[in-house]
Amino acid sequence: MKLPVKDINGNAKGDLEFNIPFVLDGSGTQAVHDTVVAYMAAQRSGTACTKTMGDVNGTGKKPWRQKGTGRARAGSFASPLWRGGGVVFGPKPRSYRKKVSKSTRYLSIRKALTERLKSNDIIVLDELKFESPKTKGFQSFLAAQNITGTVLIISQGTDKNLMLSSRNIPGVELTTSKDLNTYQVLRYDKMIVTQGALQDLQDRLNKD
């Protein structure tokens, strides 16, 4: 598949061949769903914690004698029925991670990229470099590319000036071709990828 290449000012710079195992039929939808669900589950910290009766700090003394008071039987101040007592079946620290096979992740990102390419949501740049970290310069760059919504920037490697220029603009995320995942591909309105990053992404997907 040939993709048009632009420069940082939005001017045409030719075409670039991008060849990966595209998923053009109806397959891959379930793989995308499973991968995104697993990704979002992995973002949960799983640190919620409640105290059981054994964890509550307090005496083990029986509140009152078993019989003769006219009150219900009570054996512990830590009873879940009492204020300040333990919690029955409350959350404990756990991992929410879900297991997804490598082949499923591979199929899902190919399916997601195929759909974004079909929708013309991917913009390819010859390079993306800034002489100095300027938010205004990054805003001018987005205007030159006719970007009005959210955007994902995919570079070949970490660029400090690019990171500092874009960090104060809402709806913009930076990633590299090595770290790109299915969730990021689907989340944003547009994707901007550099020529070098696209080549690395092609090598990555053809090798998996």
Strands 122-125, 172-176: parallel, antiparallel or unpaired by DSSP?
A: unpaired
Structure tokens at 61: 């003394």
Q: How confident is the model at residue 208 (pLDDT cuts 50, 70, 90)?
A: low
Q: pLDDT by residue (tens digit) across 42-89?
A: 999 999 999 999 999 988 899 999 999 999 999 999 999 999 999 999
Within 8 A by CB and 6+ apart from 37, the residues are: 98
Between the alpha carbon of residue 21 and those of residues 99, 104, 140, 156, the distances in Å are 24, 14, 35, 21
On whether the CB atoms of residues 34 and 104 are closer than 8 A, the answer is yes
On whether the CB atoms of residues 165 and 133 are closer than 8 A, the answer is yes
Average pLDDT over residues 109-131: 92
- For the domain made up of 5-9+101-207, the CATH class stated in words is alpha beta
The model's pTM: 0.83
Domain ranges in the chain?
5-9+101-207
Structure tokens at 11: 């001017």
Structure tokens at 6: 């632009």
- Residue 207: pLDDT over 80: no
